[in-house]
């Protein structure tokens, strides 16, 4: 007993001939169907190339446009021919011209001999498939499809929509339960002949003629009527990408294919000479009796589809440029923005770097230059410290920095004195952690040696900018993790906020802070604010600082005394 191959070919005939010869020379009859749209000379050449083989036949030609009945008609005719001409055939294997046997034919024959009654055909009820092109499942059977999906897509979609609206439904012939599956199957003579010789076949054919992509449903549905033993999987390794096009195998897939233990793979690039040479070589020795195991290849292609549909989060490049409003994650990794902390603490940056084990930059958006950690002039990925380059495209600057430093959390200082163009972007980024001590910008002014008139003007400017930012952070569409304290609040109890932030940055550390940053001397700060008020400027963002001695409200001895100098 043996297996016969029905091959559907429409291109790359020299490769098809090579494979057909391989099978035929190993006593497996081959029936070849060539698409009618192929020109005569090419067809004649193929016939001639295989003329010396007695067990190769050519069946009547049908035009096989994708998704149309022609493919089924071709399969029917070729299968009939196969069953009639070669009585020794027990299993019929449907293959295409771009299929390649991966294991010696003898192994396949032995495998099928052990399972003489089994039909290998993927056959799944319409409710259970998630992979159909165009999202049509049961509707493939109940609607009409007079327009080509590839060439008349608009009409196709419009007509489907119209039929849905008017609730048009075709009647499915009694007794049929629609099933779908890969078009590449391997059926026993018993089952296949039962389908082909069915007295009702004309009725079924009439129905399937108007079904969409009948080659994925005709045999898959009818086999359920006759087969006693269906193994619902295809023996052909064939993977589809997100557009429903088969993935193609190249020379560099050789090891993967070899280890997959599948019998036949599709589709092979016609110029993949190494694959054809290797798998069709006569002295190829078989592996042990292994079950097909396409797991690795499945993963490879699943990853490719994911890359094409989801991509790498936070990456902006020539072939991935997501519109910020259509995606959730805007950057590659979590990062923290600190506003006011380096004003309140003297050595905040070094302290944070040491405590949380992260990279802590200065004011990345300072107007003069980009203040990278350690005063670097060029940073990871060869980012320049030029403020002009950063301001030319701040989004690209920030996303590049976060992308370039994947694996190391970035923290940076921010403030109302910095460029504010990036604010909306950061605020809507779930990867951002924004911590603000509002009004802390007044501390450097308080400690500065400027004329009070200038200080007053600067204070008014900074307050306006920060107030705008805080307003922005109150919006409903904000996705960043935002925390805001007023200066008064923060100074009263600095440990708790610091602990929360550090825990969030390095959750695994989870220990009490032992070393704390050194707070600047705020003696007289209350009076300073009062002076601003007296000059007609209303500082509001600091919270309630008493005008008196400048000590923060509450008992300075309370809590952790070493915090306040």
Binding site for other proteins (CB under 8 A): 241-243, 245, 247-248, 250-252, 269, 271, 300-301, 303-305, 307-313, 315-323, 326-327, 378-384, 386, 388-389, 392-393, 396-397, 400, 403-404
- Work out the angle between the directed axes of helices 13-25 and 40-49 (0-180°, nearest 10): 30
Tell the residue number behind the tokens 């390095």, with chain if given: 506
Nearest distance in Å: CB 238, other proteins: 14
Name which of 307 and 533 has its Cβ closer to other proteins: 307
Residues 337/422, Cβ–Cβ less than 8 Å: no
Name which of 168 and 242 has its Cβ closer to other proteins: 242
Among left, alpha and beta (phi > 0; psi -120 to 50; other), residue 94 is beta
Among left, alpha and beta (phi > 0; psi -120 to 50; other), residue 134 is left
Residues 473/436, Cβ–Cβ less than 8 Å: yes
Name which of 267 and 456 has its Cβ closer to other proteins: 267
Nearest distance in Å: CB 48, other proteins: 22
* CB neighbour list of residue 204: distance below 8 Å, 6 or more residues apart: 173, 176, 198, 218, 222
Nearest distance in Å: CB 110, other proteins: 32
Name the burial class of residue 59, with classes exposed (0-12), middle (13-18) and buried (19+) by CB atoms within 10 angstroms of its CB.
buried
Nearest distance in Å: CB 424, other proteins: 16
3-state secondary structure 158-208: HHHHHHHHCCCCCCCCCCCCCEECCCCCEEEHHHHHHHHCCCCHHHHHHHH
Among left, alpha and beta (phi > 0; psi -120 to 50; other), residue 27 is left
Name which of 289 and 328 has its Cβ closer to other proteins: 328
Name which of 175 and 375 has its Cβ closer to other proteins: 375
Nearest distance in Å: CB 443, other proteins: 32
Nearest distance in Å: CB 414, other proteins: 21
Nearest distance in Å: CB 354, other proteins: 24
Name which of 58 and 301 has its Cβ closer to other proteins: 301
Nearest distance in Å: CB 323, other proteins: 5
* CA angle, residues 177, 180, 182, in degrees to nearest 5: 150
Checking 542-545 for CB contacts under 8 A at 24+ apart, the result is: 542/438, 542/439, 542/440, 542/442, 542/486, 542/487, 542/488, 543/438, 543/439, 543/486, 543/487, 543/488, 543/489, 544/486, 544/488, 545/487, 545/488
Nearest distance in Å: CB 240, other proteins: 11
- Integer-rounded Cα Rg, in Å, for the chain is 36
How many beta carbons lie within 10 A of that of residue 210, not counting itself?
14
Name which of 170 and 395 has its Cβ closer to other proteins: 395
């Amino acid at each position: 007993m043996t297996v016969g191959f029905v091959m559907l070919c429409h291109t790359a005939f020299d490769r098809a001939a090579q494979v057909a010869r391989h099978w035929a020379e190993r006593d497996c009859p081959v029936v070849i169907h060539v698409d009618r749209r192929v020109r005569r000379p090419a067809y004649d050449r193929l016939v001639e190339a295989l003329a010396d083989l007695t067990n190769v036949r050519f069946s009547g030609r049908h035009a096989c446009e994708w998704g149309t009945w022609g493919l089924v008609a071709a399969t029917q005719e070729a299968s009939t021919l196969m069953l009639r001409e070669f009585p020794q055939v027990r299993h019929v294997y449907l293959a295409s011209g771009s299929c390649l046997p991966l294991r010696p034919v003898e192994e396949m024959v032995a495998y099928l001999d052990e399972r003489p009654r089994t039909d290998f055909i993927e056959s799944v009820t319409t409710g259970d498939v998630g992979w159909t092109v165009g999202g049509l499942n049961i509707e493939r059977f109940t609607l009409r499809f007079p327009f080509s999906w590839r060439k008349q897509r608009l009409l196709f979609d419009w007509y489907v929509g119209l039929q849905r609206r008017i609730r048009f439904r075709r009647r499915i012939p009694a007794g049929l339960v629609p099933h779908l599956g890969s078009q590449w199957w391997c059926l026993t003579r018993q089952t296949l002949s039962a389908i082909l010789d069915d007295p009702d076949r004309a009725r079924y054919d009439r129905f399937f003629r108007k079904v969409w992509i009948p080659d994925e449903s005709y045999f898959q549905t009818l086999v359920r009527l006759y087969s006693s033993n269906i193994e619902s999987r295809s023996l052909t390794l064939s993977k589809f990408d997100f557009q429903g096009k088969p993935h193609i195998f190249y020379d560099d897939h050789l090891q993967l294919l070899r280890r997959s233990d599948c019998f036949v793979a599709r589709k092979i690039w016609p110029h993949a000479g190494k694959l054809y040479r290797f798998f069709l070589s006569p002295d190829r020795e078989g592996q042990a009796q292994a079950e097909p195991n396409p797991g690795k290849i499945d993963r490879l292609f699943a990853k490719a589809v994911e890359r094409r549909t989801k991509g790498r989060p936070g990456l902006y490049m020539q072939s991935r440029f997501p519109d910020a409003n259509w995606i959730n994650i805007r950057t590659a990794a979590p990062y923290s923005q600190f506003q006011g902390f380096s004003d309140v603490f003297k050595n905040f940056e070094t302290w944070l770097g040491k405590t949380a084990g992260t990279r802590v930059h200065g004011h990345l958006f300072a107007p003069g230059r980009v203040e990278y950690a350690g005063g670097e002039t060029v940073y990871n990925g060869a980012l320049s410290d030029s403020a002009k380059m950063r301001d030319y495209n701040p989004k690209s600057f920030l996303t590049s920095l976060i992308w370039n430093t994947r694996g190391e959390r970035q923290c940076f200082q921010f403030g109302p004195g910095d460029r504010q163009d990036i604010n909306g972007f950061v605020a809507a980024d779930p990867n951002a952690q924004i911590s603000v001590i509002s009004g802390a910008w007044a501390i450097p002014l308080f400690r500065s040696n400027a004329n009070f008139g200038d200080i007053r003007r600067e204070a008014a400017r900074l307050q306006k900018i920060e107030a705008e930012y805080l307003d922005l952070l109150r919006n409903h569409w904000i996705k960043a993790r935002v925390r805001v304290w007023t200066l008064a609040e923060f100074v009263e109890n600095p440990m708790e906020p610091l602990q929360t932030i550090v825990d969030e940055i390095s959750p695994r550390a989870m220990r009490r802070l032992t070393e704390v940053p050194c707070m600047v001397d705020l003696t007289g700060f209350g009076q300073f604010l009062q002076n601003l008020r007296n000059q007609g400027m209303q500082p509001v963002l600091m919270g309630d600082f008493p005008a008196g001695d400048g000590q923060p409200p509450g008992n300075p001895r309370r809590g952790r005394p070493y915090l306040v100098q």
